[in-house]
Amino acid sequence: MRTLELRRHTLRAKPGQHLTQAGVTLARRVGETIGPFDRVLTSSVPRAYETALAMGFAVDEVSGAFSLMDDAVDAEICWPAPFGEIAAAMRRGGAAAAFGGRLARLLHDVAASLPEGGAALIISHGGIVEAAAVACLPDADHAAWGGHCSYCEGVRLSFDGERFVAAEILRI
């Protein structure tokens, strides 16, 4: 089994892009309890990269694919949204479904690239973490997964070498 751990970035002072000291402290605390990871990927937005570093992990890859939802997806998913609402938006088709499909293919490729028993950490953003998890396990009971992920929370996905088979919601 291989695992992907998807986490939302830590605290920042809006509208700034960089972490606050409270955010660094939270990320350090979470980082002490997770890992190790064979790969660490982040979005291209500074707060995601900084979160991985604050957690104590070197970043292997920065990807714009984990950075933001376009306006068409934002129109279909009103953030903050619980997993069940994101799943409902994806079931309607449209931009949310296409976005989820792209994320699921990307995450499948990341998981397939890991060695057996390997793990990857992906630091992204609210809405993207939830959409990715829903898209990877489209038949799960998403309503049971609860509300959106807060700072440093996320989802651990299990991959059997061919497909995603389970999810664990990671709360702080």
Domain assignment present for residue 170? The answer is no
Q: With the CA atoms of 103, 134, 148 and 68 taken in that order, what torsion angle do they form, in degrees rounded to the nearest 10?
A: 20
Question: For position 96, which CATH number holds?
Answer: 3.40.50.1240
Domain assignment present for residue 81? The answer is yes
Using alpha carbons, list the distances in angstroms from residue 99 to 53, 105, 139, 167.
27, 10, 17, 19
Domain assignment present for residue 172? The answer is no
Nearest Cα residue to 123 out of 34, 21, 22: 34
Domain assignment present for residue 135? The answer is yes
Domain that holds residue 135: 2-165
Domain assignment present for residue 87? The answer is yes
pLDDT value of residue 29: 98
Tally the domains of the chain.
1
Q: What is the pTM of this model?
A: 0.96
pLDDT by 10s per residue, the chain, length 172: 999 999 999 999 888 889 999 999 999 999 999 999 999 999 999 999 999 999 999 999 999 999 989 899 999 998 899 999 999 999 999 999 999 999 999 999 999 999 999 999 999 999 999 999 999 999 999 999 999 999 999 999 999 999 999 999 999 9
